[in-house]
Structure 1
Amino acid sequence: MTRVSGWLVGLGLAAMVSPACAADWQQLALNGGVVSVYAQEIALVPGSAYLMPMGGDLYFWKTGAAGGFALCRVTSAGVVSVLKGDVAEERFSEPGALCVMNGKLYFPARVPDGPIGLWCSDVTSAGTVLVKDDFYVDRELYSLRALTAVGSVLYFNPQDTGYGGDLWKSDGTPQGTVLVKTDVSGGEGGGPESFAAAAGTTFFQAWDWQNGAELWKTDGTASGTQRVKDIASGSNWGSPGLFTPLGGLVYFRAADGNGFDLWKSNGTTAGTTRVHAFGSGWLAGLSEATRIVVSGGKLFFPASGELWVSDGTDGGTVAVETGDEFPVSVPAPRSLTASGGLVYFISNDGGHGEELWCTNGTAAGTRMLKDIRPGGATSLPGNLTDVNGVLYFTADDGVHGLELWRSDGTETGTVLAADVVPGAAGSGVANLTAVGTKLYFSRYQTYLIAPLCVMETAVGSGFDAWAAAAGLTGGDAAAGAVPRGDGVKNLLKYAFNLDPSVADCRTLVPGTGTAGLPCVTRSGSGAGAVLRIEYLRRKNSGLTYRAVQSATLLPGSFSVFSGTPVVTAVGSAWERVVVETPCDPAVTPRLFGRVEVALEP
């Protein structure tokens, strides 16, 4: 009898572990996880700000076919398309970071022979249009800075060859893109920048030579755009930044001449106060901080070479660790990222090099998760990214090079997620961006080419745990591997409840079976004949199952069964699916059925 992929025709079982557009993606089963790499050469614009999730899809900039840059989209099904910029007359130059407002993308860019302008995209080619580029009659702009969505308003700061201190706003229409206030700070200066909203107020920083950089607010009107407080009096610079909303207030760092301290504001002068003073000195206070993160209703940040936590009060602002855990001779804890109830960060205790750490806000709950590169060498951890409570990051263990790792907050759960490019050189993974349960990233190929990659984290995590429990390691733990020599790929065993620890190619017993490959039968006669498939389906796994039929088995000839599936529960983790399709011998002398199992990006 004819066989397909090692299985009897009529069963026709297939494992699909690549995206829906299989021709455009290369599937790599690595370390038990599945990474799909877009096969066409693509040069991503580096920086996570140039990759933007919206509505379950990912939008990004790449080098265009006609030179310049093109705005692209990859859907949750893996379909990659260019929205605009791949033809010469439409190519973009100087593209800026993407910003989302009300289901549309906004960004600054130029087109050939045009000035810098504000663009909008409704994620169609025809709907990717210029909003405005005639901001001034007599000024040539070189950038639109600090594009930030606050509710249904975009704020930004056009920059020319001078300092550029004007505040503009837009509702996404040409007529609604207007100047809010000229020279916000009242003299030759710069900003506004670093917008943040809290308690109905939009805060930002602006500066001039007379008053320095100080805290401002706006309600979108000229009269409502005001300096909140002159934190550093006179021409001294308060330099407020790292704005972090929490509990109706905005928290930030600022300096009043005694180093960078933690401040908070409710939008009034009287309500803008210092939370905690750290003293003066070279590394005092938040001088080395690059972000303030919120976890469990508290603020976490590095200050004076140590990790601190604050409940928003002076007395409740304390060092998580004291002593020599984070010596001042090495960089302060950095890259703080909240994930799964913990705050992860990169630090160096002076003996292990820079490694991944985590904290729950207590001394006992603060620890180095794993000495990824044993000894005093650093593992170069970076790109810390939360994906639904699991931390993904990059690191070099000295064996695999710089690759993708993940952590659940335990030492045993801090593992290599994918060895994308085997060998000590590594893949140079970067630009980690979460979209739902998918993690997109780039890998280094050449100076000009950084292929787009994607990993389905929800399924990968469940599959990895299943493979590990079966004692599968290395290449034997890959989704497409057949470690038991029975012709059944790991993914199929995972999908149909077969035993991964032994050779197992059972077929499901109709009606009662709780494990086995799909059962395909034919019943009835004449016009009443049907082809019937019964199979198990793993619940809440992220896997997709599809019963399909073909009269020829030729590529592209398969279509979905026409009948309505009948689904019944089999315990808490599984369900039984039965579906039929007509197969009148007078119309279709032969008909083949199979179940496709898809692990999509």
Structure 2
Amino acid sequence: MRLGFAYVLAVLGLWGCGGVQDPEAPAVEEREVQAQSCTPALAATKVKDILPPDAPLPSPFRPIPAGLTNVQGTLYFSADPYQGPAALWRSDGTTAGTVPFKVFPVEGLTFRDFGSFTAVGSRLFFTMNDPVVGSELWVTDGTAVGTRLVKDITPGIAGSSLSNLTSLGGELSFFLTTASGMELWRSNGTDAGTRRVLSFGPEESMASPTLRTDGALLFFLQDAVHGTRLWRTDGTAAGTQVVKRLDAGQPPVTAARLSYTGQGLFTLLDEGNNTEVWRTNGTAAGTVRLETFGKVVQLLGSTGPYVVVAARTADNEHLKLYRLSLAGGGKATVTTLPNPFQGQLSNDPSVQDSQEAGGRVYFSERISSPGPAARQVSLWVTNGTEEGTLQLSQRLITSDVRSSPLFNTGGGTLLFSSGDGGDGILPQVTNGTPAGTGTVTTSSPGGNTPEEFTRAGNTIFFRAYSGVHGDALWSVPVNVTCTPLSERR
């Protein structure tokens, strides 16, 4: 079998387009979202406006602030305006404590193109474009003097192609792509301490993203001789080795996925659109195929003893959920989701995003339209059973350039964005029940279209409309909840 890695949320173009009713589909019942009354969730607070009042508004594809990253409880982020001075910022969650600590002059550049923010201990590694060395690896300790170029890996203005920056064993590991092939590198933040660990040669190609488990990085390499193999590295040459050969062929590369509960889950897709669902713990014995489907499926996540996946029915108008046992032993149908636009032109359903939180799997279902924007994007939750599969919202962002984020707070709840409150797209929180789903109120005007939720300590930061001009930095406590009115005292 010739297989490709199928990232479960990025295979939308591979769905079939038949018009025959799925004979396995159970009767589909419409499930309306019932409005629930609850006490307002803890208020979201605007931490600070980042854009000056007279600054041009940035493109939604290059937002400000961006790159929100937790570095040992302190938030770091960037501001990269068009043909303007770029800056790195840090925040302790207060207005006074949210400050730029390093400003980079324009120097003829359109953008600085900050990227790949990766925390390693108390430092932040990142890539940035520079007029002298091009795009290379940088590091900062949160001060101006402690922000510097790590190494000009590819001498000259051409820059280096770096990917999959990961903290391993107290240092940074990353991959470098050159004309001679792909290489594994490691850095302690100094020029001398940034060195090549291993070269894989020009024949190897890599699936992305990588998987993280037990202090190691799992990644997939393919070539015409060795086929498709799962590798593991701890960042050292001795600790970089093949885990298991998955297939003899060299298929087109798409991607893979890691479940947030620590279950290493990924899918393989062959040329006939047959999908294999796998589980790995980073060892050969622990890398096993759980199930094979004769069609494209999207991996949603794990809940209790189950893996939940989604696939379109044969009529191409509904999503059907299946559950697989993490221990193996076959698949079972959970339910088929209703489509309120059944029979209309361009009503194809797909999974836009998924997230695990509080032992449940949440996912957003996007139903297409003849135009670029979706007809509807709704939020669902499932515990792997029909009765435990519920629709929580029908008003997530339908834009073709933005989407509603789904974020595990770490406190048993999920943060997302929705227009259910009637005041525009605002942050919402849910515990997986309709009664425990509600709008997070804002302490001042603004807070619309929240994006890039990031937890630092007991605070969750995000970017949202400032209420004045452009976007601002906002925050909400980790313990944000929506309490049903019936439970108030």
Q: Same fold (TM over 0.5)?
A: yes
Q: What SS does the aligned partner of 2:349 have? A: coil
Tell me, yes or no, if the aligned pair for 1:403 and 1:420 is still in contact at 8 Å: no
Q: Point out the structure with the larger strand share.
A: 2
Does 2:127 align with 1:119?
Answer: no
Which of 403, 421, 438 in structure 1 is aligned with 2:426? 403
Cα distance in 2 for partners of 1:414, 1:266 equals 34
The residue number in structure 2 matching 1:355 is 378
Does 2:464 align with 1:454?
Answer: no
Cα distance in 1 for partners of 2:403, 2:131 equals 40
Which of 456, 476, 487 in structure 2 is aligned with 1:435? 456
Q: Unaligned regions of 5+ residues in structure 2, if any?
A: 1-39, 313-318, 369-374
Query: What letter is aligned with 1:362?
Result: T
Q: CA deviation at 1:367?
A: 0.9
Tell me, yes or no, if the aligned pair for 1:50 and 1:96 is still in contact at 8 Å: yes
The residue number in structure 1 matching 2:20 is none
Tell me, yes or no, if the aligned pair for 2:180 and 2:202 is still in contact at 8 Å: no
The percentage of aligned residue pairs carrying the same residue is 28
Cα distance in 2 for partners of 1:215, 1:231 equals 7
Q: CA deviation at 1:389?
A: 2.2
The residue number in structure 1 matching 2:392 is 369
Tell me, yes or no, if the aligned pair for 1:122 and 1:128 is still in contact at 8 Å: yes
Cα distance in 1 for partners of 2:229, 2:321 equals 26
Q: CA deviation at 1:440?
A: 2.0
- Give the structure-2-normalised TM-score: 0.71
Query: What letter is aligned with 1:302?
Result: A
**CA 164–401 in structure 1, closer or farther in 2 if over 3 Å, else same:** farther
Query: What letter is aligned with 2:417?
Result: T
- Bigger mean CA offset, 359-368 vs 398-407: 398-407
Does 2:123 align with 1:104?
Answer: yes
User: Equivalent residues in 2 for 1:126-525 (5 A)?
Assistant: 126-133=145-152, 135-136=153-154, 140-160=158-178, 162=179, 164-182=181-199, 184=200, 186-191=201-206, 193-198=208-213, 201-208=216-223, 214-222=229-237, 225-237=240-252, 241-244=256-259, 250-257=264-271, 259-267=274-282, 272-280=287-295, 284-286=296-298, 289=299, 292-296=300-304, 298-303=306-311, 305-315=319-329, 317-322=331-336, 330-347=348-365, 353-371=376-394, 382-387=404-409, 388-397=411-420, 399-418=422-441, 427-444=448-465, 449-456=470-477, 458=479, 461=481
CA offsets 1:50-92 (integer angstroms, 9 cap, x no match):
1112232211111369825211101133311112125557998
How many residue pairs end up in the alignment? 421
Q: CA deviation at 1:269?
A: 5.2
Tell me, yes or no, if the aligned pair for 1:66 and 1:87 is still in contact at 8 Å: no
Q: CA deviation at 1:278?
A: 0.9
Query: What letter is aligned with 2:124?
Result: L
> Greater CA radius of gyration, 1 or 2?
1
Q: Point out the structure with the larger helix share.
A: 1
CA offsets 1:33-61 (integer angstroms, 9 cap, x no match):
35225245267854998111223221111
Cα distance in 2 for partners of 1:265, 1:461 equals 34
Q: What SS does the aligned partner of 2:418 have? A: strand
Tell me, yes or no, if the aligned pair for 1:232 and 1:257 is still in contact at 8 Å: no
Q: CA deviation at 1:256?
A: 4.5
Tell me, yes or no, if the aligned pair for 2:226 and 2:248 is still in contact at 8 Å: yes
**CA 454–218 in structure 1, closer or farther in 2 if over 3 Å, else same:** closer
- Give the structure-1-normalised TM-score: 0.59
Q: CA deviation at 1:316?
A: 5.7
Tell me, yes or no, if the aligned pair for 2:80 and 2:112 is still in contact at 8 Å: no
Q: CA deviation at 1:146?
A: 1.4
Cα distance in 1 for partners of 2:442, 2:89 equals 27
Tell me, yes or no, if the aligned pair for 1:64 and 1:86 is still in contact at 8 Å: no
- Bigger mean CA offset, 353-362 vs 35-44: 35-44
**CA 354–418 in structure 1, closer or farther in 2 if over 3 Å, else same:** same
